Structure 1
Amino acid sequence: MNAETPADLPPLPAAFSALLDALIPPDARPRVEASYTSPKAVVFRVNPLRAREPATVLASLAPLQPEAVTGADGVYRLPATDRATLTHHPLCAEGSLYIQGVASMAAVWALDPQPGEAVLDLAAAPGGKTALIAARMGNQGRLAAVEPVRARFFRLKANLQRLGVRNAQLYLKDGAQVGRLVPGRFDRVLLDAPCSSQAQFTRLDPASWAHWSPRKVRASAVLQARLIRSAADALKPGGVLVYSTCSLSPEEDECVLDALLRERDDLTPESLPWPVDLPSLPGLTAWRGQPLHPGLALARRVLPTEWTDAFFLCRLRKRT
C-alpha cells in the first residue's frame, strides 16, 4: 500500500489554518505546512544527573547514530524512524537520557537557573523541564515543583526520581495560589503554562486536535492570566520569570503578557539566551489591530518544522 500524500490527509482545523495565515510569513509557510504531514525527528538530551560521559552513552546507543544539535551540549537528534527504539532503550528507563523537544529545553535555557538559587516551576508535570532545571543547578539549591492534578503530580514525582533529581520539593497545589502564599520567595520562576496544545497537531492523526477549538484558546488564556500573576508575585525583586506555552495563538502568548505588563510596572521583557539556531519569529507588538507592549518584540515564537515543535517563550526581569 502506498503512503498517504499530504493531499490525502485530513486538513487542519479551519480556524487554526487562519491563524497560520495571520502569523507565518509566506517564505516560512511551506516548511511549517510540511511539519504537519510527517513524523518529527526525535530529540533527546543526555542527563548529567544520571549519565556517564555523553560519549559513553552514545556508544551504548549503537547501532543508532545520533546527530549532535549545534549549540546545545549533550543534545542530539535521530530520525523519526528511530523513535520507538530510543523510547524503549534501557538508557531511557534508567534516566541516563530523556526525550525532550529542543524548544521545550529552550525555556530552561532562557531561565538560566544557577546552583544554590531558589527556583519555582509553577506548572511542572510531567517533569522534563523540572529535571533540566535541577541539572543546570547541579542538584544544589531549592527547586519547588508545583502541579495541581493528582495523577500528573505522581507522574512528575516518578519522573524526577528516575532522572536523579534530589533538590526538588513537590507540591500538589493550585499554582494560582502560590504567589499569595510565598510572595517574593524565588530567584527564578518558570511558568510553562497549560495551553491549547497546538504543538501536538499532526495531519497524520486528526485526534491530535479533537479537543481543540477557539473556545479552548480563550479558556486557556483565562487560566494563564491567573498563573502568570501568581508567578510574578512569587518572584524576588531582581529575579527572572520565563513564560512559555506550546501554543501559537497570541491570545495565549503576547496578549497574556501584555495584560500583565499593563497592570504592573515592575516587570520588563528581556532578550532570550538563544544558543541553538531554532527557526523562530520575534514576538508581536500588535494583534488584530490592537497595539501590544513594545518589549514583547524580545519574545520568540518557535515555528514547527520537521524537528521542532511550536512554542512561545518570553523572559521578564522584576525590578529591584
Structure 2
Amino acid sequence: MADPRPTPLDALPPLPTAFAELLDALLPAAWRHTVQASYTAPKTVVWRLNPLRGHDPDQVLQALAPLAPRPIDAALGVYEVEPHWRSALTHHPLVEQGVVYIQGLASMAAVWALQPQPGEEVLDLAAAPGGKTALMAALMGNQGRIAAVEPVRARFHRMRANLLRLGVRCAQPYLKDGTVVGRLVPQRFARVLLDAPCSSQAQFTRLDPTSWHHWSPRKVRASAALQARLIHSAAEALRPGGVLVYSTCSLSPEENECVVDGLLRARDDMTLEPLPWPVELPALPGLTAWHGQTLHPDLSLARRILPTRRTDAFFIARLRKRGA
C-alpha cells in the first residue's frame, strides 16, 4: 500500500538550475514563497461549464456536488475542486460528454483577452488540443467561423475529436503549418489567437522530475525561433483594425517579450493594448528590458501569470493592427 504521507520538501528533486536562476531573475521578493510552493504540491483542478452542450448549470453542479466545487471570482461558469478529486472529475460522465471541460485559468485568460465576438472570422493558429478553440466558440455562441490550425497529425485528430465532443460547430480544423498561413490568407481574420508552442515550463513540478525531462535552455531558444515565425504569420493574417493575442505557457522572456518585441521592430502597424480580464490573476507586468537588451516600453501592458496553487505559468500580450 502506498504511503499517503507527503514527501518532505528536502527529499524532492530540485528544479533545473537554469530554470531556478530564471525564477530568481523574474520574481519579486513578495512572490517567491508562493511561486516556489506551487512546484511542491498538487494544484486545484479548474474547470468550466460548456454552454454549447445546453445543460442546465444547476443540474450540472448538483451532479458534481460530491466533489465540492467552488466558483472562481467573477468568472461566470468557472469552478475549482481540490486536487484529490482530479481523477473523479476527469473520468466523470459530464466530462466525457463535453458538458464540463477541465481547463486552466491562464489558458482561459488568453481567450478572454482576445474577446471573440459572434459572427466574426477568427484564426486559432496553434489550436490543438482545442480547449481554447472551444471557449472561443462558446463566447461566440457558435456564430461565425474559427479556422483552427494544427500542423501535427496526431494532435490535429485529437483536436477534431475534442471539438466534436464539446459541440463546436463554427470551427473548421486545418492540418497546416501555421508559419505559412499569413502568406496564404493575408489580412483575412478579425482576431487571431496564437498560443504558441513553447518550452512548456507550466508543466514543471518537483513531484515529478520527468516534467522537465525534455526542457533545456536550448529548447527555449528553439521554441523562440519557431514562435518568431508564427507571430509574423499571425500578424500577416490579421486584417487592419484586428486583434492578435500572443501567449505561451513559458516564463522565459526569450519566448515572450523578446518575440513580441521582434514583431514590433519589424512592423510599424502593430501596437500593444491593455489586457481585458474578468478575474484577478496573479501576474506581473511584461518586461521592458532583459539581459541588457532594451525592449519596447509598451510591453509593460503584457502580463506574466505566475504559477500558484490555482494558476499555471503563462504569458499573454494583446496587439492591434492599425487601420480599419
Q: TM-score, normalised by structure 1?
A: 0.99
Residue 41, structure 1, aligned to residue 44, structure 2: yes
Q: Deviations over 1:160-188 (max 9, x none)?
A: 00000001111000000000000000000
Contact 1:51 1:97 in 2 (8 A): no
Partners of 1:77 and 1:89 in 2: how far apart? 15
Shift of 1:203: 0.2
Shift of 1:24: 0.5
Partners of 1:240 and 1:190 in 2: how far apart? 9
Runs of 4+, deviation exceeding 3 Å? none
Residue 23, structure 1, aligned to residue 26, structure 2: yes
Give the SS at the match of 2:174: strand
Q: Which among 62, 66, 71 is matched to residue 69 of structure 2?
A: 66
Q: Deviations over 1:25-82 (max 9, x none)?
A: 1110000000000110000000000141222210111312110001100000000011
Corresponding residue of 2:319 = 316
In the alignment, residue 66 of structure 1 is paired with which amino acid? P
Give the SS at the match of 1:276: coil
Corresponding residue of 1:148 = 151
Corresponding residue of 1:234 = 237
Shift of 1:290: 1.1
Where does 1:197-236 land on structure 2 (aligned, <5 Å)? 197-236=200-239
Where does 1:275-314 land on structure 2 (aligned, <5 Å)? 275-314=278-317
Partners of 2:57 and 2:297 in 1: how far apart? 42
Contact 1:116 1:141 in 2 (8 A): yes
Partners of 1:202 and 1:54 in 2: how far apart? 33
Partners of 1:176 and 1:289 in 2: how far apart? 29
Corresponding residue of 2:277 = 274
In the alignment, residue 188 of structure 2 is paired with which amino acid? R
Contact 1:51 1:57 in 2 (8 A): no
Partners of 1:253 and 1:138 in 2: how far apart? 31
Where does 1:78-93 land on structure 2 (aligned, <5 Å)? 78-93=81-96
Corresponding residue of 1:180 = 183
Partners of 1:9 and 1:267 in 2: how far apart? 45
Partners of 1:137 and 1:286 in 2: how far apart? 37
Gaps of 5+ in 2: none
Partners of 2:74 and 2:65 in 1: how far apart? 23
Partners of 1:263 and 1:233 in 2: how far apart? 12
Q: Deviations over 1:205-244 (max 9, x none)?
A: 0000000000000000000000000000000000000000
Q: How many residues align?
A: 320
Give the SS at the match of 2:277: coil
Partners of 2:54 and 2:20 in 1: how far apart? 42
Give the SS at the match of 1:120: strand
Corresponding residue of 2:257 = 254
In the alignment, residue 163 of structure 2 is paired with which amino acid? L
Give the superposed CA RMSD. Answer: 0.6
Shift of 1:275: 1.4
In the alignment, residue 311 of structure 2 is paired with which amino acid? T
Q: Deviations over 1:261-281 (max 9, x none)?
A: 001110000000121111000
Q: TM-score, normalised by structure 2?
A: 0.98
Q: Sequence identity, in percent?
A: 72
Shift of 1:295: 0.7
